[in-house]
C-alpha cells in the first residue's frame, strides 16, 4: 500500500476537522504558503458553502463551518523581500514566485480583506507607551462568551 494517498487524506481530514471546529469562530492559519497546495485548495469549498462534508465509504457527514479565516504570510520564504534597510532577501526570483503561487487566485478571492503590515523596528515596539492591563483584557475576554451566546446565529443562505 502506498503511503502518499493515506497522508493526503489525513492532511485533508485534519484541515477540514479544524475548519468544522472553528464554526462560529476564527480559524487562524499562520504562514499560509507553508501548507501544501492540495490542503489549501481543500479550503475553498468549505469557505464558500459554510459547511464541511466528509464522504467516506460507509457514511457522509456534514458539519457547519461558518467561520472567519485569518491567515498570515511573509512576502517570500526568508521573509525579507522588500526590506532593504538592515537585511536583504536571500531568495531567488523563482523561489519567491513558487512561494507565492501556492495560494491560488480562487482561494485569495474567498479572503475578503488583504492587509500589508510594514516592518516595525524594535525600538518603536519597546517604547515607554503602555497598553491595556492584563486584568482589563481578562475581564473583556471573560465577558465575550456570554455576549456571543446571546447573539443570533449567522444567517444562512440556502438555494
- Domain ranges in the chain are 3-120
Could you read off the pLDDT of 47-93 as tens digits, one per residue? 888 888 877 777 777 888 888 888 899 888 988 887 766 678 888 99
CA distances from 152 to 73, 147, 155, 156 (A): 33, 10, 8, 12
Query: Cα separation of 15 and 70, whole Å?
Result: 14
Taking 70 as the pLDDT cut, the residues of the chain under it are 1-16, 20, 84-86, 128-129, 146-159
Amino acid at each position: 500500500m502506498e503511503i502518499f494517498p493515506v497522508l493526503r487524506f489525513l492532511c485533508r481530514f485534519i484541515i477540514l476537522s479544524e475548519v468544522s471546529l472553528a464554526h462560529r469562530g476564527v480559524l487562524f492559519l499562520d504562514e499560509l504558503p507553508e501548507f501544501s497546495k492540495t490542503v489549501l485548495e481543500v479550503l475553498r469549498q468549505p469557505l464558500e458553502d459554510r459547511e464541511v462534508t466528509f464522504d467516506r465509504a460507509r457514511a457522509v457527514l456534514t458539519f457547519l463551518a461558518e467561520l472567519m479565516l485569518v491567515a498570515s504570510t511573509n512576502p517570500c520564504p526568508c521573509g525579507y523581500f522588500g526590506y532593504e534597510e538592515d537585511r536583504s532577501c536571500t531568495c531567488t526570483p523563482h523561489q519567491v514566485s513558487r512561494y507565492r503561487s501556492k495560494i491560488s487566485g480562487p482561494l485569495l478571492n474567498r479572503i475578503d480583506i488583504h492587509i500589508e503590515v510594514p516592518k516595525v523596528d524594535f525600538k518603536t515596539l519597546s517604547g515607554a507607551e503602555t497598553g491595556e492591563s492584563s486584568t482589563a483584557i481578562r475581564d473583556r475576554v471573560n465577558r465575550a462568551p456570554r455576549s456571543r451566546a446571546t447573539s443570533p446565529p449567522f444567517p444562512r443562505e440556502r438555494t
